Amino acid sequence: MSTPTLNETPQQADRARTIYEKSVPGRRAAQLPDLGEGVEETPIEELIPAHLLREKPAELPEVSEPEIVRHYNRLSRRNFDLDTGFYPLGSCTMKYNPRLNERVAALPGHAKLHPATDPSDAQGALQLMYLLQESLSEITGLPTVSLQPSAGSQGELAGLLLTRAYHADRGRNPTRVLTPDTAHGTNPASVTMAGYDVVKVATNEKGGVDLEDLKSKIDDDIACLMLTNPNTLGVFDENIVEMASLVHEAGGLLYYDGANLNAIMGQARPGDMGFDIVHVNLHKSFSQPHGGGGPGAGPIAVSERVEPFIPRPQVVRREDGDGVFFDLDYDRPKSIGRLRGFQGNFGVFVRSLAYILSLGGDGLAEASRQAVLNANYLKKRLSEGRAGKYLPIAFDRHCMHEFVLSGAPMKKELGIKTLDLAKRLLDFGFHPPTVYFPLLVDEALMIEPVETESKEDLDAFADAIERILEEAEEDPTIAQNAPYTTPVRRLDEVGATRNPRIRQPQ
């Protein structure tokens, strides 16, 4: 491993210029088809009244096709990506994205199928969705799956609106939702958007929900408890069955945030733990590429009593004398309705079904086992040497698929913060872990190594941490001023917020 130098790299010397700044009047890429025989070149004002028309063209760049390709190719090289290196972002499940999935998603029968195609001409697409529903139902242990939500957070909101509909149907209107203090930020945000009040539940010394605190907060005004299990500390809550019965006895529902499902596929199922609603992040456990911040998908699986309320339309399988027919069922009178247009992120469904078929039931179970093994191995490696001294584990027990370290001793004894360590890791060619989350761990580093990483990569990451800490013992300013080798160095985020420049000046 070579130590990066302090000189400016060629990429750093290549200052950022936007496509707008490369625009030259008169240049163009697109060549459009002719109007066609018989189509008149009528002035547009004769087709649409002038006062409804644009007065001057929108300022879009004027660039040729080779320039566009070079521009975005060069930009791409200013990104770090999963295909290039280890990406242990906690709770993000950055697992390998199989290229087969891209190939099948791009088939014209999938990619060029209009969403309003009559079901009789879209049987393959509907069957694919049905198969994914059935697979997710088996994996989560719940009977019904709606694929509609666009992402995890929309799945959460859907789940909370289902909760509301479920209670309303019973003539109840509870107002509060319980979430542990370790919850992902989307949980409380979704709770508010569903019109509920958030009630926080404390974490016990083992990293699970504090049962006494939970008991003290459960009453008949509780609509549901939202849990991630294993939680964001990588800890499986052993009291899950008792918690489920406490909430159910009070009339509430149990919501499972499936962000961390990658730990338990084929090992345990949220439905068997007593959960009523689960969202699944297809871009985490089921290999949809993250795309630099989307697309994803957040299907929900629900128990029998929640089923009448799921979003519509729902893909159903009908069988009669003429054979099997897959259809979109709109006739769901108790449905909460739509969360979005059409049927959901079908392109994501294609990739995730390809992944499930490739691994199979046996492979999914094995993937989870390896994810947990990798996490425990890396945790072990980081409990040794300087990492063990400066970065203690927040809750010391076997973890599931991820674990959380605290950088507090490092900050105190070496004078470098978790942020500094993260930035220095960039110089070593690693994407840093999730930092400063969960909030209850001081200077947190949340590490999720996933099953698709090799032992060598895990070792290399542990070695890099060791080197950075060793270096910091000698000279903390190296980490404090990192990174050095990235396309740009540490950026002024405060300045960006104070004086927002969020578009090209006119």
Partner 1 sequence: MAGYTPATPGDQADMLAAIGVDSVDDLFAQIPDEVKLDRPLDLEDGKSESEVYRFLAGLADTNLDAERIPSFLGAGMYDHYVPAIVEAIVSRSEFLTPYTPYQPEVSQGGLQVMFEFQTAMSEITGLPVANAGLYEGPSAAASAAYLAMGVTGRTGLVASRGLHPHSRETLATHAVGFGATVTEVGLESGLTSGEELEAAVDDDTAAVFLQNPNFLGAVEDIAALGEAVKAKGALLIVAADPMTLGILRPPGACGADIAFGEGQPLGNRLDFGGPSFGFFCAREEYIRKMPGRIAGETTDADGRRGFVLTLQTREQHIRREKATSNICTAQALNALAGMIHLAWLGKQGFVELGELLARRTAYARKLIGGLDGYELLHEAPVVREFAVRSERAVEELLPLGDESHGPAPRLPVYPLGRDYPEYEDSFLVAITENRSVDEIGWLAHMLEHAQAGWGEHIHDHDHEGNPVAGGVQ
Smaller CB distance to partner 1: residue 115 or 415? Answer: 115
Torsion of CA 363, 365, 368, 374, to 10 degrees: -70
State in angstroms the smallest separation of the CB of 469 from partner 1: 19
**CA-CA distance, 200 to 190, in Å (whole number)?**
14
Considering the complex, what minimum distance in angstroms separates the CB of residue 447 from partner 1? Answer: 14
Query: CB of residue 414 vs partner 1: minimum separation in angstroms?
Result: 20
- How many Å apart are CA 11 and CA 83, to the nearest integer? 20
- CA-based nearest residue to 272, from 225, 224, 229, 217: 229
Q: How many CB atoms lie within 10 A of CB 472?
A: 23
CA angle 398, 183, 455 (to 5 degrees): 35
Nearer to partner 1, 114 or 170 (CB): 114
Supply the angle between the helices 418-427 and 455-474 in degrees, to the nearest 10.
Answer: 120
Q: Edge-to-edge strand order for the sheet containing 144-146?
A: 144-146, 300-302, 277-279, 253-257, 222-227, 176-180, 197-201
Complex with partner 1: residue 211 or 413, whichever CB lies closer: 211
What is the Cα–Cα distance from 435 to 410, expressed in whole angstroms?
Answer: 14
Shortest spacing between CB 436 and partner 1, in angstroms: 9
Closest distance to partner 1 from the beta carbon of 173 (Å)? 12
The three-state (H, E, C) secondary structure of 170-223, written as one string: CCCCCCEEEEECCCCCHHHHHHHHCCCEEEEECECCCCCECHHHHHHHCCCCEE
The smaller minimum CB distance to partner 1, of residues 74 and 412, is found at 74
Report the residue count for the chain: 506
From first CA to last CA, the distance across the chain in angstroms is 46
Nearest approach, Cβ of 395 to partner 1 (angstroms)? 11
Q: What are phi and psi of 325, to 5 degrees?
A: -135, 130
279 neighbors 149 (Cβ within 8 angstroms):
yes
- Report, in Å, the least distance between residue 385 CB and partner 1: 13
As a whole number of angstroms, the distance between CA 234 and CA 448 comes to 9
Q: Name the minimum Å distance from CB 222 to partner 1.
A: 16
CB of 298 to partner 1, least distance (A): 9
Comparison of 157 and 391: residue with beta carbon closer to partner 1:
157
Residue 192 vs 216, nearer CB to partner 1:
192
Q: Which is nearer to partner 1, 151 or 479 (CB)?
A: 151
Closest separation in Å from C-beta 207 to partner 1? 10
The residue (of 412 and 455) whose beta carbon lies closer to partner 1 is: 455
413 vs 481 by CB, closer to partner 1:
481
SS (H, E, C) 333-366: CCCCCCCCCCCCCHHHHHHHHHHHHHHHHHHHHH
- Residue 163 φ then ψ, to 5°: -60, -45
Contacts of 480 (CB under 8 A, 6+ apart): 415, 416, 420
For residue 18, the minimal CB distance to partner 1 (Å) is 5
**Minimal distance, residue 104 CB to partner 1, in Å:** 4
397-425 per-residue burial string, b: 16 or more CB within 10 A, e: under 16: eebbbbbbbbbbebbeebebbbbbbbbbb
C-beta of 71: minimal distance to partner 1 in Å?
8
The residue (of 443 and 453) whose beta carbon lies closer to partner 1 is 453
Measuring CA to CA, how many Å separate 145 from each of 128, 304, 363? Answer: 13, 11, 22
Judged by CB, which is closer to partner 1: 264, or 412?
264
Task: Return the number of the residue (338 or 412) whose C-beta is nearest partner 1.
Answer: 338
Closest to partner 1 by CB, 176 or 413? 176
Cα gap 145→500, rounded to integer Å: 42
Residue carrying structure tokens 């890429």: 29
